[in-house]
Chain A
Amino acid sequence: MSERVAIIGIGFVPLQPATPRHSFKEMVFEVAQKAYADAGISFEEIDSFVTCAEDFNEGISIFDEYTPDQLGCRQKPMHTLTQDGLHGIADALMQIRAGVADIVVVEAHSKASNIITPDWLLDYALDPVYNRPLGFNPHALAALEMNRFIDQTGITASQCADVVVKNRLNARDNPLAAYALKTNRSTVDSSPYVSYPLHEEELAKYADGCVVIVVANEATAKKVVNQPVWILGAGFANDSPTIESRCWGQAEYARYAAQSAFLQAGIKSVDDIDFFEVDDTYAYKELQHLIALGLYDEPVEAGRATESGETRRDGKTPVNVSGGALGMGLPLEAHGLYRILELVLQVRGQAGERQLSRAKIGVAQSWRGVPTTSGAVVIVGSEAPRG
Protein backbone atom coordinates (compact mmCIF):
# COMPACT_ATOMS: atom_id res chain seq x y z
CA MET A 1 0.00 0.00 0.00
CA SER A 2 1.34 3.37 -0.90
CA GLU A 3 1.17 6.39 1.29
CA ARG A 4 -1.65 8.75 0.34
CA VAL A 5 -0.52 12.16 -0.73
CA ALA A 6 -2.49 15.36 -1.23
CA ILE A 7 -2.16 18.91 -2.42
CA ILE A 8 -2.83 21.05 0.63
CA GLY A 9 -1.96 24.54 -0.54
CA ILE A 10 -1.79 26.62 -3.68
CA GLY A 11 -0.36 30.02 -4.47
CA PHE A 12 -0.47 31.77 -7.82
CA VAL A 13 -0.57 35.04 -9.71
CA PRO A 14 -2.47 35.81 -12.91
CA LEU A 15 -0.53 35.16 -16.08
CA GLN A 16 0.53 38.34 -17.86
CA PRO A 17 2.39 39.14 -21.09
CA ALA A 18 4.96 41.00 -18.95
CA THR A 19 5.57 41.61 -15.25
CA PRO A 20 7.98 44.55 -15.14
CA ARG A 21 7.38 45.54 -11.53
CA HIS A 22 8.95 42.52 -9.90
CA SER A 23 12.02 40.39 -10.22
CA PHE A 24 11.42 36.66 -10.42
CA LYS A 25 12.49 36.37 -6.79
CA GLU A 26 9.94 38.95 -5.66
CA MET A 27 7.21 37.26 -7.67
CA VAL A 28 8.03 33.81 -6.28
CA PHE A 29 8.19 35.16 -2.72
CA GLU A 30 4.72 36.66 -3.01
CA VAL A 31 3.28 33.44 -4.42
CA ALA A 32 5.04 31.19 -1.89
CA GLN A 33 3.64 33.27 0.97
CA LYS A 34 0.14 32.80 -0.42
CA ALA A 35 0.64 29.06 -0.86
CA TYR A 36 1.90 28.52 2.68
CA ALA A 37 -0.97 30.61 4.05
CA ASP A 38 -3.42 28.61 1.95
CA ALA A 39 -2.00 25.41 3.42
CA GLY A 40 -1.99 26.89 6.89
CA ILE A 41 1.66 26.05 7.45
CA SER A 42 4.79 27.98 8.29
CA PHE A 43 7.81 27.84 5.99
CA GLU A 44 9.71 26.17 8.80
CA GLU A 45 7.47 23.10 8.67
CA ILE A 46 8.38 22.30 5.08
CA ASP A 47 10.81 19.41 4.65
CA SER A 48 11.85 19.67 1.04
CA PHE A 49 11.60 21.99 -1.95
CA VAL A 50 11.59 21.50 -5.71
CA THR A 51 11.92 24.22 -8.33
CA CYS A 52 11.39 23.35 -11.98
CA ALA A 53 13.55 25.58 -14.16
CA GLU A 54 15.94 25.58 -17.12
CA ASP A 55 19.13 27.66 -17.15
CA PHE A 56 18.59 29.35 -20.48
CA ASN A 57 14.95 30.15 -19.80
CA GLU A 58 16.24 32.17 -16.87
CA GLY A 59 19.37 33.43 -18.62
CA ILE A 60 21.50 32.20 -15.74
CA SER A 61 23.70 29.12 -15.62
CA ILE A 62 23.23 26.82 -12.63
CA PHE A 63 19.92 28.49 -11.86
CA ASP A 64 19.62 26.27 -8.80
CA GLU A 65 21.73 28.91 -7.02
CA TYR A 66 18.93 31.43 -7.05
CA THR A 67 16.07 29.21 -5.89
CA PRO A 68 16.20 29.02 -2.08
CA ASP A 69 15.74 32.48 -0.56
CA GLN A 70 12.34 33.39 -1.93
CA LEU A 71 10.89 30.02 -0.84
CA GLY A 72 12.23 30.19 2.69
CA CYS A 73 14.41 27.13 2.30
CA ARG A 74 17.81 28.38 3.26
CA GLN A 75 19.96 25.43 4.42
CA LYS A 76 17.24 22.92 3.66
CA PRO A 77 16.78 20.13 1.12
CA MET A 78 16.16 21.85 -2.18
CA HIS A 79 16.82 20.79 -5.74
CA THR A 80 15.80 21.74 -9.21
CA LEU A 81 14.44 19.63 -12.00
CA THR A 82 14.95 20.89 -15.52
CA GLN A 83 11.48 19.76 -16.34
CA ASP A 84 7.90 20.80 -16.27
CA GLY A 85 6.13 21.56 -13.00
CA LEU A 86 4.16 18.34 -13.24
CA HIS A 87 7.42 16.40 -13.10
CA GLY A 88 7.96 18.32 -9.87
CA ILE A 89 4.62 17.09 -8.50
CA ALA A 90 5.63 13.51 -9.33
CA ASP A 91 8.95 14.15 -7.60
CA ALA A 92 7.18 15.44 -4.47
CA LEU A 93 4.94 12.39 -4.44
CA MET A 94 7.96 10.07 -4.59
CA GLN A 95 9.84 11.95 -1.85
CA ILE A 96 6.87 11.62 0.47
CA ARG A 97 6.25 7.97 -0.34
CA ALA A 98 9.92 7.19 0.18
CA GLY A 99 9.64 8.66 3.66
CA VAL A 100 12.21 11.35 2.92
CA ALA A 101 9.75 14.19 3.56
CA ASP A 102 6.25 14.86 4.91
CA ILE A 103 5.70 18.22 3.25
CA VAL A 104 7.21 19.15 -0.12
CA VAL A 105 6.85 22.45 -1.95
CA VAL A 106 6.92 22.56 -5.75
CA GLU A 107 7.56 25.87 -7.49
CA ALA A 108 7.77 26.91 -11.10
CA HIS A 109 7.71 30.34 -12.64
CA SER A 110 8.08 32.10 -15.92
CA LYS A 111 9.80 35.33 -16.79
CA ALA A 112 9.41 34.59 -20.47
CA SER A 113 9.04 38.30 -21.16
CA ASN A 114 12.70 38.71 -20.21
CA ILE A 115 13.82 36.45 -23.05
CA ILE A 116 14.54 38.61 -26.07
CA THR A 117 15.31 35.73 -28.44
CA PRO A 118 12.92 32.89 -27.57
CA ASP A 119 13.07 31.10 -30.92
CA TRP A 120 16.88 31.17 -30.82
CA LEU A 121 16.71 29.41 -27.49
CA LEU A 122 14.71 26.62 -29.06
CA ASP A 123 17.20 26.55 -31.91
CA TYR A 124 19.96 25.96 -29.35
CA ALA A 125 17.99 22.94 -28.14
CA LEU A 126 18.31 21.20 -31.50
CA ASP A 127 20.89 18.51 -32.16
CA PRO A 128 24.00 20.55 -32.98
CA VAL A 129 25.41 18.15 -35.55
CA TYR A 130 22.47 16.87 -37.58
CA ASN A 131 19.67 19.42 -37.24
CA ARG A 132 20.79 22.84 -36.13
CA PRO A 133 23.09 23.52 -39.13
CA LEU A 134 20.00 23.64 -41.36
CA GLY A 135 19.10 26.97 -39.78
CA PHE A 136 15.34 27.08 -39.46
CA ASN A 137 12.77 28.42 -37.03
CA PRO A 138 12.18 25.51 -34.62
CA HIS A 139 8.41 25.99 -34.70
CA ALA A 140 8.74 24.29 -38.09
CA LEU A 141 9.17 21.04 -36.15
CA ALA A 142 5.68 21.47 -34.73
CA ALA A 143 4.43 22.15 -38.24
CA LEU A 144 6.07 18.96 -39.50
CA GLU A 145 4.43 17.06 -36.69
CA MET A 146 1.05 18.70 -37.28
CA ASN A 147 1.17 17.89 -40.97
CA ARG A 148 1.96 14.26 -40.22
CA PHE A 149 -0.72 14.20 -37.53
CA ILE A 150 -3.53 15.47 -39.73
CA ASP A 151 -2.43 13.27 -42.60
CA GLN A 152 -2.45 10.18 -40.38
CA THR A 153 -5.63 10.88 -38.44
CA GLY A 154 -7.87 12.60 -40.94
CA ILE A 155 -8.41 15.43 -38.52
CA THR A 156 -8.73 18.71 -40.41
CA ALA A 157 -6.74 21.89 -39.99
CA SER A 158 -10.01 23.68 -39.24
CA GLN A 159 -10.73 21.34 -36.37
CA CYS A 160 -7.36 22.32 -34.97
CA ALA A 161 -8.46 25.93 -35.30
CA ASP A 162 -11.57 25.09 -33.26
CA VAL A 163 -9.29 24.34 -30.31
CA VAL A 164 -8.03 27.92 -30.42
CA VAL A 165 -11.55 29.29 -30.51
CA LYS A 166 -12.68 27.16 -27.58
CA ASN A 167 -9.69 27.81 -25.33
CA ARG A 168 -9.49 31.54 -25.87
CA LEU A 169 -13.22 31.75 -25.23
CA ASN A 170 -12.85 29.68 -22.04
CA ALA A 171 -10.15 32.08 -20.90
CA ARG A 172 -12.70 34.89 -20.82
CA ASP A 173 -14.06 33.44 -17.58
CA ASN A 174 -10.64 33.00 -16.06
CA PRO A 175 -9.21 36.06 -14.30
CA LEU A 176 -5.78 34.42 -14.43
CA ALA A 177 -5.71 34.36 -18.25
CA ALA A 178 -3.58 36.72 -20.32
CA TYR A 179 -4.99 36.04 -23.79
CA ALA A 180 -8.76 35.71 -23.52
CA LEU A 181 -10.51 36.53 -26.80
CA LYS A 182 -13.78 35.94 -28.58
CA THR A 183 -12.64 34.66 -31.91
CA ASN A 184 -13.80 32.28 -34.61
CA ARG A 185 -12.54 29.59 -36.91
CA SER A 186 -12.10 31.79 -39.94
CA THR A 187 -10.01 34.33 -38.02
CA VAL A 188 -7.65 31.56 -36.99
CA ASP A 189 -7.68 30.00 -40.45
CA SER A 190 -6.88 33.29 -42.09
CA SER A 191 -4.05 34.26 -39.77
CA PRO A 192 -0.66 33.97 -41.46
CA TYR A 193 1.25 30.73 -41.41
CA VAL A 194 4.25 30.52 -39.15
CA SER A 195 5.08 27.35 -40.96
CA TYR A 196 2.50 25.67 -43.15
CA PRO A 197 0.13 24.12 -42.00
CA LEU A 198 0.55 25.85 -38.62
CA HIS A 199 -1.08 29.27 -38.29
CA GLU A 200 0.24 32.06 -36.10
CA GLU A 201 -2.99 32.00 -34.06
CA GLU A 202 -2.44 28.34 -33.26
CA LEU A 203 0.69 29.05 -31.21
CA ALA A 204 0.30 29.75 -27.53
CA LYS A 205 1.95 33.03 -26.60
CA TYR A 206 4.42 33.23 -23.75
CA ALA A 207 3.35 34.70 -20.42
CA ASP A 208 4.92 35.47 -17.05
CA GLY A 209 3.64 33.93 -13.85
CA CYS A 210 4.31 31.67 -10.94
CA VAL A 211 2.62 28.81 -9.12
CA VAL A 212 3.64 27.26 -5.81
CA ILE A 213 2.02 24.02 -4.69
CA VAL A 214 2.28 22.44 -1.26
CA VAL A 215 2.14 18.64 -1.26
CA ALA A 216 1.84 16.61 1.94
CA ASN A 217 1.38 13.16 3.38
CA GLU A 218 -1.97 11.98 4.69
CA ALA A 219 -1.36 12.80 8.35
CA THR A 220 -0.55 16.41 7.48
CA ALA A 221 -3.33 16.67 4.90
CA LYS A 222 -5.94 15.71 7.47
CA LYS A 223 -4.88 18.55 9.75
CA VAL A 224 -5.12 21.40 7.27
CA VAL A 225 -7.95 23.84 6.84
CA ASN A 226 -8.59 23.53 3.14
CA GLN A 227 -10.05 20.47 1.54
CA PRO A 228 -7.09 18.32 0.51
CA VAL A 229 -6.99 17.44 -3.17
CA TRP A 230 -5.56 13.94 -3.46
CA ILE A 231 -2.94 12.91 -5.97
CA LEU A 232 -4.27 9.68 -7.44
CA GLY A 233 -1.49 9.07 -9.93
CA ALA A 234 1.53 10.72 -11.51
CA GLY A 235 3.41 9.57 -14.57
CA PHE A 236 6.15 11.03 -16.70
CA ALA A 237 7.99 9.76 -19.74
CA ASN A 238 10.12 10.55 -22.75
CA ASP A 239 10.02 9.29 -26.28
CA SER A 240 13.32 9.29 -28.13
CA PRO A 241 14.37 12.93 -28.42
CA THR A 242 16.16 12.29 -31.67
CA ILE A 243 14.42 13.88 -34.64
CA GLU A 244 15.39 10.93 -36.84
CA SER A 245 13.90 8.15 -34.70
CA ARG A 246 11.18 9.70 -32.54
CA CYS A 247 7.56 9.08 -33.27
CA TRP A 248 6.02 11.70 -35.54
CA GLY A 249 2.27 12.09 -35.50
CA GLN A 250 1.48 10.55 -32.13
CA ALA A 251 2.48 11.74 -28.66
CA GLU A 252 4.13 8.61 -27.33
CA TYR A 253 5.51 10.36 -24.24
CA ALA A 254 1.99 11.35 -23.20
CA ARG A 255 0.68 7.84 -23.81
CA TYR A 256 3.39 6.27 -21.64
CA ALA A 257 2.92 8.85 -18.89
CA ALA A 258 -0.86 8.45 -18.95
CA GLN A 259 -0.68 4.68 -18.79
CA SER A 260 1.50 4.87 -15.72
CA ALA A 261 -0.68 7.50 -14.01
CA PHE A 262 -3.94 5.69 -14.77
CA LEU A 263 -2.51 2.43 -13.47
CA GLN A 264 -1.51 4.07 -10.19
CA ALA A 265 -4.91 5.70 -9.85
CA GLY A 266 -6.68 2.43 -10.55
CA ILE A 267 -8.75 4.15 -13.22
CA LYS A 268 -9.78 1.78 -15.95
CA SER A 269 -11.95 4.00 -18.07
CA VAL A 270 -11.47 7.62 -19.06
CA ASP A 271 -15.22 7.97 -18.51
CA ASP A 272 -14.45 8.10 -14.79
CA ILE A 273 -12.64 11.37 -15.32
CA ASP A 274 -14.68 14.55 -15.13
CA PHE A 275 -12.39 17.02 -16.87
CA PHE A 276 -8.99 17.50 -18.45
CA GLU A 277 -6.31 20.16 -18.55
CA VAL A 278 -3.91 19.19 -21.32
CA ASP A 279 -1.04 20.82 -23.13
CA ASP A 280 -2.11 23.02 -26.03
CA THR A 281 1.16 24.79 -26.84
CA TYR A 282 0.02 24.41 -30.43
CA ALA A 283 -3.67 23.88 -31.18
CA TYR A 284 -3.23 20.43 -32.71
CA LYS A 285 -1.36 19.32 -29.61
CA GLU A 286 -4.55 19.38 -27.54
CA LEU A 287 -6.11 16.85 -29.90
CA GLN A 288 -2.97 14.76 -30.11
CA HIS A 289 -2.68 14.68 -26.34
CA LEU A 290 -6.32 13.74 -25.82
CA ILE A 291 -5.78 10.84 -28.19
CA ALA A 292 -2.68 9.80 -26.25
CA LEU A 293 -4.70 9.90 -23.01
CA GLY A 294 -6.99 7.32 -24.56
CA LEU A 295 -10.15 9.38 -24.96
CA TYR A 296 -11.10 8.12 -28.39
CA ASP A 297 -11.36 4.78 -30.11
CA GLU A 298 -10.32 6.34 -33.40
CA PRO A 299 -8.03 9.39 -33.55
CA VAL A 300 -10.30 11.14 -36.04
CA GLU A 301 -12.94 11.43 -33.33
CA ALA A 302 -10.76 13.94 -31.49
CA GLY A 303 -11.35 16.47 -34.25
CA ARG A 304 -15.05 15.78 -34.45
CA ALA A 305 -15.47 15.97 -30.68
CA THR A 306 -13.96 19.42 -30.63
CA GLU A 307 -15.95 20.58 -33.62
CA SER A 308 -19.19 19.37 -32.05
CA GLY A 309 -18.49 21.08 -28.75
CA GLU A 310 -17.96 17.95 -26.67
CA THR A 311 -14.82 19.42 -25.11
CA ARG A 312 -16.41 22.77 -24.28
CA ARG A 313 -17.13 23.71 -20.70
CA ASP A 314 -20.75 22.60 -21.09
CA GLY A 315 -19.81 19.54 -23.13
CA LYS A 316 -19.55 15.92 -22.13
CA THR A 317 -15.77 16.08 -21.57
CA PRO A 318 -14.58 19.57 -20.66
CA VAL A 319 -11.01 20.17 -21.80
CA ASN A 320 -8.97 23.21 -20.79
CA VAL A 321 -11.77 25.02 -19.02
CA SER A 322 -9.04 27.33 -17.75
CA GLY A 323 -8.32 28.47 -21.28
CA GLY A 324 -5.20 26.34 -21.56
CA ALA A 325 -1.95 27.81 -22.78
CA LEU A 326 -3.69 29.28 -25.83
CA GLY A 327 -6.04 31.30 -23.64
CA MET A 328 -4.02 31.80 -20.49
CA GLY A 329 -0.53 32.05 -21.96
CA LEU A 330 2.45 29.73 -21.96
CA PRO A 331 4.51 30.10 -18.78
CA LEU A 332 7.57 27.91 -19.53
CA GLU A 333 8.07 25.31 -16.74
CA ALA A 334 5.05 26.64 -14.83
CA HIS A 335 2.81 25.43 -17.65
CA GLY A 336 1.98 22.11 -15.95
CA LEU A 337 1.43 23.80 -12.59
CA TYR A 338 -1.15 26.16 -14.09
CA ARG A 339 -2.87 23.06 -15.46
CA ILE A 340 -2.95 21.34 -12.06
CA LEU A 341 -3.87 24.62 -10.41
CA GLU A 342 -7.08 24.59 -12.42
CA LEU A 343 -7.78 21.03 -11.28
CA VAL A 344 -7.36 22.05 -7.64
CA LEU A 345 -9.56 25.12 -8.01
CA GLN A 346 -12.26 23.09 -9.75
CA VAL A 347 -12.15 20.21 -7.27
CA ARG A 348 -12.29 22.66 -4.38
CA GLY A 349 -15.19 24.48 -6.02
CA GLN A 350 -13.21 27.73 -6.22
CA ALA A 351 -13.26 28.20 -9.98
CA GLY A 352 -15.74 31.08 -9.98
CA GLU A 353 -17.63 31.69 -13.21
CA ARG A 354 -16.08 28.70 -14.90
CA GLN A 355 -16.86 26.24 -12.09
CA LEU A 356 -17.89 22.88 -13.47
CA SER A 357 -20.89 21.19 -11.92
CA ARG A 358 -19.04 17.92 -11.77
CA ALA A 359 -15.36 18.12 -10.93
CA LYS A 360 -14.37 15.25 -8.67
CA ILE A 361 -11.57 13.72 -10.72
CA GLY A 362 -9.38 15.66 -13.13
CA VAL A 363 -6.32 14.99 -15.27
CA ALA A 364 -3.48 17.43 -15.98
CA GLN A 365 -0.98 16.76 -18.75
CA SER A 366 2.07 18.69 -19.86
CA TRP A 367 4.58 18.71 -22.67
CA ARG A 368 7.92 20.51 -22.76
CA GLY A 369 7.56 22.02 -26.21
CA VAL A 370 9.67 21.65 -29.34
CA PRO A 371 12.03 19.95 -29.89
CA THR A 372 11.30 17.71 -26.90
CA THR A 373 9.33 14.52 -26.51
CA SER A 374 8.86 14.82 -22.80
CA GLY A 375 5.78 15.17 -20.68
CA ALA A 376 3.95 14.28 -17.52
CA VAL A 377 0.43 13.38 -16.40
CA VAL A 378 -1.05 13.90 -12.93
CA ILE A 379 -4.50 12.76 -11.81
CA VAL A 380 -6.16 14.36 -8.80
CA GLY A 381 -9.43 13.75 -7.03
CA SER A 382 -11.61 14.96 -4.20
CA GLU A 383 -11.65 11.56 -2.50
CA ALA A 384 -8.58 9.92 -1.03
CA PRO A 385 -7.51 6.92 -3.09
CA ARG A 386 -8.29 3.50 -1.78
CA GLY A 387 -5.25 1.99 -0.07
Chain B
Amino acid sequence: MNDKYAGTPLGERELNRGKIFVNSYTPKLHYQWDTGEGIGRYLGELKRGRLIARRCDGCQRILIPPRMFCERCFRPTDEWIYVNDTGKVLTFSLCYVTWNVRRLKQPLIPAVIEIDGASAGMGILHLLKKVPPKKVRVGMRVRAVWRPPAERRGSITDILYWRPATEERE
Protein backbone atom coordinates (compact mmCIF):
# COMPACT_ATOMS: atom_id res chain seq x y z
CA MET B 1 0.00 0.00 0.00
CA ASN B 2 2.83 2.35 0.85
CA ASP B 3 4.39 1.64 -2.48
CA LYS B 4 1.17 2.51 -4.24
CA TYR B 5 0.95 5.85 -2.50
CA ALA B 6 4.45 7.26 -2.41
CA GLY B 7 5.25 10.64 -0.94
CA THR B 8 7.18 12.20 1.92
CA PRO B 9 5.17 14.78 3.84
CA LEU B 10 7.14 17.53 5.56
CA GLY B 11 6.03 19.39 8.65
CA GLU B 12 7.09 22.84 9.74
CA ARG B 13 9.41 21.29 12.34
CA GLU B 14 11.40 19.27 9.85
CA LEU B 15 11.73 22.32 7.67
CA ASN B 16 12.92 24.51 10.49
CA ARG B 17 15.47 22.03 11.75
CA GLY B 18 17.63 22.83 8.76
CA LYS B 19 18.02 19.25 7.62
CA ILE B 20 15.82 19.82 4.62
CA PHE B 21 17.51 21.79 1.87
CA VAL B 22 15.31 24.51 0.48
CA ASN B 23 15.99 27.59 -1.56
CA SER B 24 13.81 30.59 -2.18
CA TYR B 25 13.50 32.76 -5.22
CA THR B 26 11.41 35.78 -6.06
CA PRO B 27 10.83 35.99 -9.78
CA LYS B 28 10.88 39.27 -11.61
CA LEU B 29 7.77 38.98 -13.73
CA HIS B 30 6.82 42.50 -14.74
CA TYR B 31 4.29 43.55 -17.33
CA GLN B 32 2.77 46.58 -18.96
CA TRP B 33 -0.47 45.37 -20.48
CA ASP B 34 -2.08 47.15 -23.41
CA THR B 35 -5.55 47.96 -22.19
CA GLY B 36 -6.95 48.26 -25.69
CA GLU B 37 -9.79 50.44 -26.85
CA GLY B 38 -12.56 49.04 -24.68
CA ILE B 39 -10.87 49.01 -21.30
CA GLY B 40 -8.75 52.06 -22.16
CA ARG B 41 -11.88 54.13 -22.52
CA TYR B 42 -13.43 52.50 -19.42
CA LEU B 43 -10.44 53.60 -17.34
CA GLY B 44 -10.42 57.06 -18.89
CA GLU B 45 -14.06 57.56 -18.00
CA LEU B 46 -13.52 56.28 -14.47
CA LYS B 47 -11.04 59.09 -14.09
CA ARG B 48 -13.80 61.50 -15.07
CA GLY B 49 -16.11 59.90 -12.52
CA ARG B 50 -18.32 58.08 -15.00
CA LEU B 51 -19.11 54.50 -15.87
CA ILE B 52 -19.31 53.65 -19.53
CA ALA B 53 -20.61 50.59 -21.36
CA ARG B 54 -20.89 49.33 -24.96
CA ARG B 55 -24.08 48.41 -26.74
CA CYS B 56 -24.36 45.49 -29.13
CA ASP B 57 -27.03 45.97 -31.78
CA GLY B 58 -27.06 42.23 -32.40
CA CYS B 59 -28.43 41.16 -29.04
CA GLN B 60 -29.39 44.65 -27.84
CA ARG B 61 -27.37 44.14 -24.67
CA ILE B 62 -25.53 46.96 -22.95
CA LEU B 63 -22.23 45.49 -21.81
CA ILE B 64 -20.09 46.44 -18.84
CA PRO B 65 -17.14 46.08 -18.52
CA PRO B 66 -17.22 47.45 -22.07
CA ARG B 67 -15.76 45.45 -24.92
CA MET B 68 -15.33 46.15 -28.59
CA PHE B 69 -16.88 42.83 -29.59
CA CYS B 70 -19.88 40.89 -28.38
CA GLU B 71 -19.03 37.41 -27.14
CA ARG B 72 -22.52 36.12 -27.89
CA CYS B 73 -23.06 37.53 -31.38
CA PHE B 74 -19.37 37.44 -32.32
CA ARG B 75 -19.51 40.83 -33.98
CA PRO B 76 -18.12 44.26 -33.16
CA THR B 77 -20.17 46.21 -30.64
CA ASP B 78 -21.74 49.40 -31.85
CA GLU B 79 -21.91 52.31 -29.48
CA TRP B 80 -20.58 53.83 -26.26
CA ILE B 81 -23.21 54.45 -23.62
CA TYR B 82 -22.84 56.07 -20.24
CA VAL B 83 -24.46 54.10 -17.46
CA ASN B 84 -25.21 55.09 -13.87
CA ASP B 85 -23.03 54.78 -10.84
CA THR B 86 -25.84 53.09 -8.97
CA GLY B 87 -26.88 49.49 -8.97
CA LYS B 88 -28.05 46.41 -7.19
CA VAL B 89 -26.15 43.67 -5.37
CA LEU B 90 -26.35 40.41 -7.34
CA THR B 91 -24.25 38.48 -4.87
CA PHE B 92 -21.77 39.22 -2.07
CA SER B 93 -19.48 37.72 0.53
CA LEU B 94 -18.05 38.73 3.91
CA CYS B 95 -14.40 37.90 3.57
CA TYR B 96 -12.18 37.55 6.63
CA VAL B 97 -8.89 36.98 4.87
CA THR B 98 -6.80 39.09 2.51
CA TRP B 99 -5.50 37.95 -0.86
CA ASN B 100 -2.39 36.52 0.80
CA VAL B 101 -4.38 34.89 3.59
CA ARG B 102 -3.91 37.32 6.44
CA ARG B 103 -6.77 37.26 8.86
CA LEU B 104 -9.05 40.32 9.07
CA LYS B 105 -11.13 41.44 12.06
CA GLN B 106 -13.58 43.40 9.98
CA PRO B 107 -14.56 41.61 6.80
CA LEU B 108 -14.13 42.93 3.31
CA ILE B 109 -17.41 42.79 1.44
CA PRO B 110 -16.80 41.89 -2.20
CA ALA B 111 -19.90 41.97 -4.35
CA VAL B 112 -21.05 41.69 -7.93
CA ILE B 113 -23.05 44.84 -8.59
CA GLU B 114 -25.54 45.03 -11.43
CA ILE B 115 -25.14 48.46 -12.96
CA ASP B 116 -28.19 50.64 -13.58
CA GLY B 117 -28.48 51.44 -17.25
CA ALA B 118 -26.70 48.28 -18.40
CA SER B 119 -28.58 45.11 -19.32
CA ALA B 120 -30.00 42.85 -16.65
CA GLY B 121 -27.33 40.68 -15.09
CA MET B 122 -24.47 42.96 -16.21
CA GLY B 123 -22.42 43.25 -13.07
CA ILE B 124 -18.95 44.32 -12.09
CA LEU B 125 -16.83 43.15 -9.18
CA HIS B 126 -16.30 45.72 -6.42
CA LEU B 127 -16.38 46.26 -2.67
CA LEU B 128 -19.16 47.40 -0.34
CA LYS B 129 -18.52 49.60 2.68
CA LYS B 130 -20.43 51.78 5.14
CA VAL B 131 -22.87 48.99 5.80
CA PRO B 132 -22.98 46.63 8.78
CA PRO B 133 -22.01 43.18 7.44
CA LYS B 134 -25.21 41.66 8.77
CA LYS B 135 -27.32 44.11 6.82
CA VAL B 136 -25.99 43.23 3.37
CA ARG B 137 -28.57 41.54 1.19
CA VAL B 138 -28.78 40.28 -2.36
CA GLY B 139 -30.87 42.82 -4.24
CA MET B 140 -29.76 45.71 -2.05
CA ARG B 141 -29.48 49.02 -3.92
CA VAL B 142 -26.05 50.65 -3.80
CA ARG B 143 -24.21 53.64 -5.21
CA ALA B 144 -20.59 54.34 -5.96
CA VAL B 145 -18.43 56.50 -3.72
CA TRP B 146 -15.76 58.14 -5.86
CA ARG B 147 -12.30 59.29 -5.04
CA PRO B 148 -11.90 63.07 -5.19
CA PRO B 149 -11.20 64.06 -8.85
CA ALA B 150 -7.61 65.11 -8.15
CA GLU B 151 -6.77 61.68 -6.76
CA ARG B 152 -8.27 59.62 -9.56
CA ARG B 153 -5.86 57.90 -11.87
CA GLY B 154 -7.98 56.02 -14.34
CA SER B 155 -8.45 52.87 -12.35
CA ILE B 156 -11.24 50.68 -11.07
CA THR B 157 -10.16 51.94 -7.64
CA ASP B 158 -11.23 55.47 -8.62
CA ILE B 159 -14.44 54.16 -7.15
CA LEU B 160 -13.45 53.77 -3.51
CA TYR B 161 -16.36 51.50 -2.66
CA TRP B 162 -20.13 51.18 -2.99
CA ARG B 163 -22.53 52.04 -0.18
CA PRO B 164 -26.24 51.54 0.39
CA ALA B 165 -28.18 53.96 -1.80
CA THR B 166 -31.03 54.42 0.63
CA GLU B 167 -28.98 56.11 3.35
CA GLU B 168 -28.68 59.85 3.45
CA ARG B 169 -26.36 61.54 0.95
CA GLU B 170 -22.95 62.44 2.25
CB within 8 Å: A-B pair count: 74
**Interface size, chain A (Cβ < 8 Å):** 32
A227 to B117, CA, bound (A): 48
Q: Is the CB of B23 within 8 A of A29?
A: no
Q: Which residues of A contact B5 (CB under 8 A)?
A: none
Consensus secondary structure, chain B interface? mixed
Q: Is the CB of B32 within 8 A of A114?
A: yes
Q: Which residues of B contact A223 (CB under 8 A)?
A: none
Q: Which of A2-10, A64-72, A163-171, A373-381 faces chain B?
A: A64-72
Q: Which residues of B contact A387 (CB under 8 A)?
A: none
Q: Is the CB of B68 within 8 A of A26?
A: yes
A269 at the interface (CB under 8 A from B): no
- B:67-104 near A, CB below 8 Å: 67-69, 71-72, 74, 76
Q: Is the CB of A26 within 8 A of B37?
A: yes
- Cβ of B9 to closest chain A Cβ, rounded Å: 19
Q: Is the CB of B29 within 8 A of A20?
A: no
Q: Which of A93-101, A124-132, A236-244 faces chain B?
A: A124-132
Mask: chain A, 4-39; 1 = CB below 8 Å from B; 0 = not: 000000000000000111111110010001000000
Q: Is the CB of B29 within 8 A of A23?
A: no
A117 to B27, CA, bound (A): 10
Q: Which residues of A contact B72 (CB under 8 A)?
A: 74
Task: Select one of B25, B27, B71 contacting A72, CB under 8 A.
Answer: B71
**Interface size, chain B (Cβ < 8 Å):** 22
Mask: chain B, 12-38; 1 = CB below 8 Å from A; 0 = not: 000000000001010111111111111
A56 to B31, CA, bound (A): 10
B39 at the interface (CB under 8 A from A): yes
Given contacts A29-B69, A129-B23, contact A116 B31 (CB under 8 A): yes
Q: Which residues of B contact A29 (CB under 8 A)?
A: 68-69, 76
A121 at the interface (CB under 8 A from B): yes
Given contacts A29-B69, A74-B72, contact A128 B25 (CB under 8 A): yes
- Cβ of A137 to closest chain B Cβ, rounded Å: 13
Q: Which residues of B contact A74 (CB under 8 A)?
A: 71-72
Q: Which residues of B contact A129 (CB under 8 A)?
A: 23
Q: Which of A25, A111, A113 has the most CB of B within 10 A?
A: A25
A120 at the interface (CB under 8 A from B): yes
Given contacts A43-B74, A72-B74, contact A120 B29 (CB under 8 A): yes
A59 at the interface (CB under 8 A from B): yes
Q: Which of A25, A26, A128 has the most CB of B within 10 A?
A: A26
A115 at the interface (CB under 8 A from B): yes
Q: Which residues of A contact B27 (CB under 8 A)?
A: 120-121, 123-124
The 19 sampled A-B contact pairs (Cβ below 8 Å) are A19-B34, A21-B37, A22-B36, A23-B34, A23-B35, A23-B38, A24-B34, A25-B36, A26-B36, A29-B69, A29-B76, A56-B29, A70-B69, A72-B74, A74-B72, A116-B30, A116-B32, A120-B30, A121-B29
B contact set with A: CB distance below 8 Å: 23, 25, 27-39, 67-69, 71-72, 74, 76
Given contacts A22-B34, A59-B31, 9 further A-B contacts (CB under 8 A): A23-B34, A25-B36, A25-B69, A26-B69, A33-B74, A59-B29, A69-B69, A120-B30, A128-B23
